[in-house]
Amino acid sequence: MNCPRCETALKGVTIEDSQVHACPNCDGTWYPDEALGEVTDFTFSELKETELSPSLVPDKLARVDLDKAICCPQCGKEMARYTYSMTCRIELDECSEHGVWLDDGELGTLMQYLTELDKRVSAKEASLATSRNFETLAELSRSPSYYSLPTNVLATLNSLYNRDR
């Protein structure tokens, strides 16, 4: 399997149970199936200790043409670009059947975004639990990032909301 950006042969990288493929030339990474979700369950500092560490920092982007449309390394069909979530500007390339491609540094940006989101939600949760501030909850549930919150956070918010009404 070759890199969709620079044609270099991709190298297999194992992160616990997940199999990822990294380009040794441009540091782009390919996540088959659910692998991206599994990898983003780790923290930024945990990933720094893995073979994906070079892909956290965008220092090889000069080697590729980011404007070029790219094709899935597995089936060769042109991939679709989509934004990870409404509050995060990262654009990912995805083959709906095979997986997701990240260019160099996008993994790092994604991990920082998820860490910030997690902190914001924990802070809101704590203040909700103590002050039972339902207006804050209502506000949070109207925000565009609500549906990209982890399921356990949504469940906590819902139980707080229902318990005291």
C-beta of 8 vs 85, nearer to Zn ion: 8
Pick from 20, 22, 23, 117 the residue near Zn ion by CB under 5 A: 23
Q: For the segment 2-21, give every residue that binds Zn ion (CB under 5 A).
A: 3, 5-6, 8
Nearest to 27 by CA among 104, 102, 107: 104
Nearest to 124 by CA among 110, 141, 109: 141
Q: Which two tokens mark 104?
A: 């160099």
C-beta of 20 vs 95, nearer to Zn ion: 95
Site membership for Zn ion, residue 80 (CB under 5 A) = no
Site membership for Zn ion, residue 92 (CB under 5 A) = no
Pick from 26, 36, 56, 137 the residue near Zn ion by CB under 5 A: 26
Q: For the segment 96-135, give every residue that binds Zn ion (CB under 5 A).
A: 97-98
Site membership for Zn ion, residue 47 (CB under 5 A) = no
- The count of chain residues that interact with Zn ion, using the rule CB under 5 A, is 14
Q: By the criterion CB under 5 A, which residues form the site for Zn ion?
A: 3, 5-6, 8, 23, 25-26, 28, 72, 74-75, 95, 97-98
